[in-house]
Amino acid sequence: MASLADLKHELPMGLQNDLGKQMLPGEATIISLPGSFGEAFVVTDRRAIIIRDRGAGLNTVCDIFGYPLAKVTGAAAISSGVGGYIELNLTEPVTEQDSVRVYFPSYESDKFKAAADYLAGTLKPPESDAEAAQSPRVAGISSQFGAGTCSKCGAKIEQGVAFCQQCGAQISAICAGCGGATPFGSAYCCNCGVAMLEFPPQCPTCGKRVRFWMIFCPDCGTYLHPQCMECGTRIQPEWKYCASCGRRIGSDQINPRSTQASMRRLQQLKETRRTSQDEPEAQPVVTPAPAAAPAPAVTSSLTSNSAAEEHNAKGRELFDNDDIEAAISEFEIAVSLDPGNASYHSNLAVAYDELERDDEALVEYNKALSIDPNDLTALLSLGYMYSEKAEFEKAKEVWDRVLEIAPQSAEAQEVRDNLRHQGEL
């Protein structure tokens, strides 16, 4: 049987260099055995490590799988006539067999069996969760915040990072105020100094990873964070006033007319939905029978729709440039050319609303909703108009319709914020 001194060998240069980059300060190598096919088995005083060359051309690129010894329950060396493999036994199952296995030639079987025996003889029984949390072999436990090894994969962790660069596991809390990494359980963020409020990096609907700066989940579209109704700035829970526009958070009154930003944002929300419904469907090319007369009505209708869209687009451009009167003129032409388009009526209503022409705006909102009862922008904007006129019951009735139609939409989240800010109307 091989002695412990026989189990420490030089590794091929590429494997040795990549392993050296993963070693922690003061970490000592006890076993290092080259295997077959550009791979190696390594045991340190803190981890068991599988390292394997990907075979990516001239430049050696290695996959390294490290496991804290607290997560290793043993190892088994399995031999055959032409070789064998050593496989780690862990407290948690793995998805890839090769992440815990190193293959070796038959003439090295004694050394790998001795390595397996060494692990079996030196490892303690699995610790409880409470004991593991205090163990110096568990990832992230160090005198320097964030420095150590990942408790999931054993990779080396640099100081002050939030996620493991090898497996993606979260290893630090994320401050909801500044997005910086802070030790779990901190009372204050170590980056911005405010009272610590954790940012959850998973979407509450689909569970996918989301970033600190995201407003919507890129996978399912869920609205992730409240925004200021005036300027669209992401609101932090501790704010009394919006840091961008100064609007009081949680006030009894919502005044979307004090800035163009709110109305523009309503337009932008609508634009994401209007494109598909406004584009005319491709007309099939039909060769008429000899006796059939031309159908000018179809051409006339398409021409009218095209002209209406041109005026509507011009109106949106003028609205964005704060020329509301001119925008109203363009929207009125669009409505006259295509009176069955709910989007055009909604645009005209928003423009009337901007100039406080409430009676005319109400007529256009109702026309838009008579054509499309599920027009979220019209419902949201109409609720704002009622709210500003202190007709809170009507506002709530309209906004409740948004919650019923699309409870996961950005408009629905805005409605919830409005209702909460106005004391649950």
Final residue of a domain: which of 126, 160, 178?
A: 126
Q: Supply the CATH number for residue 32's domain.
A: 2.30.29
- Domain match, 417 and 269 both: yes
In a domain, 195, yes or no: no
Ranges of residues in the chain whose predicted pLDDT is under 50: 126-146, 251-263, 265, 276-277, 281-282, 284-287, 289-299, 424-425
374, 349 contact by CB (below 8 A): no
In a domain, 132, yes or no: no
Q: What is the C-alpha separation between 306 and 383, in angstroms, rounded? A: 31
Q: What is the C-alpha separation between 398 and 368, in angstroms, rounded? A: 14
pLDDT of residue 384: 85
Q: How far apart are the first and last CA of the chain?
A: 81
pLDDT of residue 250: 57
In a domain, 186, yes or no: no
Q: What is the C-alpha separation between 117 and 115, in angstroms, rounded? A: 5
Q: What is the C-alpha separation between 42 and 131, in angstroms, rounded? A: 25
pLDDT of residue 31: 93
Q: Burial-class residue 308 by CB neighbours within 10 Å (0-12, 13-18, 19+).
A: buried
Amino acid at residue number 295: A
Final residue of a domain: which of 95, 126, 157?
A: 126
Backbone torsions φ then ψ of 154, nearest 5 degrees: 85, 5
Q: What is the C-alpha separation between 198 and 138, in angstroms, rounded? A: 23
Describe the chain by its helix, strand, coil percentages, rounded to 5.
40, 15, 45
73: tokens are 């329950």
Final residue of a domain: which of 106, 126, 146?
A: 126
217, 203 contact by CB (below 8 A): yes
Q: Supply the CATH number for residue 392's domain.
A: 1.25.40.10
Total tally of structural domains belonging to the chain: 2
pLDDT of residue 32: 94
In a domain, 145, yes or no: no
In a domain, 224, yes or no: no
* Sign of CA pseudo-dihedral 54, 60, 61, 62: positive
pLDDT of residue 146: 46
Domain that holds residue 117: 4-126
In a domain, 344, yes or no: yes
In a domain, 67, yes or no: yes
What CA–CA distances, in Å, run from 304 to 102, 281, 297, 335, 339? 72, 14, 10, 11, 11
pLDDT of residue 111: 92
In a domain, 378, yes or no: yes
